[in-house]
Amino acid sequence: MAVAEFIPSSSLNKRTSLYSSQLSYVSTQISHQRRLSVRSLPRTNYSSQICCSVTSKEAQAPTVVQADDPKKKNECYGVFCLTYDLKAEEETGSWKKMISVAVSGAAGMIANHLLFKIASGEVFGPDQPIALRLLGSERSLQALEGVAMELEDSLYPLLREVNIGTDPYEVFQDAEWALLIGAKPRGPGMERAGLLDINGQIYAAQGKALNAVASPNVKVIVVGNPCNTNALICLKNAPNIPAKNFHALTRLDENRAKCQLALKAGVFYDKVSNVTIWGNHSTTQVPDFLNAKINGLSVKEVIKDTKWLEEEFTEKVQKRGGALIQKWGRSSAASTAVSIVDAIRSLVTPTPEGDWFSTGVYTNGNPYGIAEDIVFSMPCRSKGDGDYELVKEVIFDDYLLSRIKKSEDELLAEKRCVAHLTGEGIAVCDLPGDTMLPGEM
């Protein structure tokens, strides 16, 4: 039978803006016969919580839960009102333990591409059940409801749970992966220092929430720009989580570099390997052609046009986002989502022998002489356990070192600019020029 329990807001420890649907999926026959209980939820009464459970043998007719204000219209929104309980089959016995993945900015375009890849099994594997925990703002809450409805309608067997909310302390509860996409875009007339402060405050708050309620070994990928310094702010506000667990997304830059090298060499991009993006996710980033390979050969052996490599190639990668906006009318979303998938898969699957991948990580203890205590994109390898190690067998020349130094200087200046958010005193903004983020106009 179905049981619905109404918990008034006065019995909660604090107001919650989190709504959950326990999507207890277990594979049945191909017809996916469902037993479900449907209840009306008070659309605007966000201070109440519905808890429900359904047995595997029968489902009760819809149960109406009265709102505090009976005049308000009650509506049922997809996963908020549905509890699935499907009969177990042998197939699900081999599934792994469910993992919890939190996503901020979950009503945005990037997340709209990403969430369905996660739910389908493309990211963590075909035997990995998923609980999605989606963070938005008060303004985007209705859009989040729509996202949850679409996820429900997609009938992903691996998607076991969907929760949405506006409070990171609720949404990040027990999260094992946190994909932090949400950030304010840079508007007309906004100085880079202003963007650092506004988004830095968001990531300071999210770091504190992760520190308080997430899994102690949560893996964090920061996408919202300026992502390197946002990642630094986040990790500084989460001292209980290993600093090594924080990443700034530079995988899209790596993918763009591989594409440009493949085009120039006249090969498919799967022939390009060992590509590194060094530094900041800005126009000071350094796409490394010195250590990259095409068909196992050094790029400089295959592409002998050094001027193209140092000038046109580098600039194309650095400014690809802006060029896309000119063509497309908006910043990249689908390719960013794909690069997040690539970044996660690089951590949960072993790196191919001899290859590596790029990710922005904490620099303490790095073997390259890069300044410590910043988040800097560097070459990494993984055994597929979610951890990574820095690659040591890389070479440098004067050109590469000078470019890396420029990006390092920019990140050190950004760090000084957000000192008030990292617990390091008064902020002093002396940014070396107003460099643009990839995709800014």
Q: Which of 32, 113, 281, 420 is catalytic?
A: 281
Phi, psi of 203 (to 5 degrees): -75, -25
Residue entry with tokens 């070396």? 432
Are 111 and 147 in contact by the 8 Å Cβ rule? The answer is: yes
Structure tokens at 339: 């690069």
Per-residue DSSP letters for 282-317? STT-EEE-SS-EETTEEHHHH---HHIIIIIIHHHH
Are 171 and 102 in contact by the 8 Å Cβ rule? The answer is: yes
Rounded to whole angstroms, the Cα distance separating 250 from 141 reads 29
Task: Estimate to the nearest angstrom the gap between the alpha carbon of 370 and the chain centroid.
Answer: 25
Check if 281 is active-site: yes
Amino acid at 372: E
Rounded to whole angstroms, the Cα distance separating 336 from 271 reads 22
148-173: burial string, b at 16+ Cβ within 10 Å, e else: bbebbeeebbbbbbbbbbbebbbbbb
Task: From 7, 340, 5, 32, select the one nearest 159 (Cα to Cα).
Answer: 32
Rounded to whole angstroms, the Cα distance separating 67 from 134 reads 25
Which residues are tagged catalytic? 281
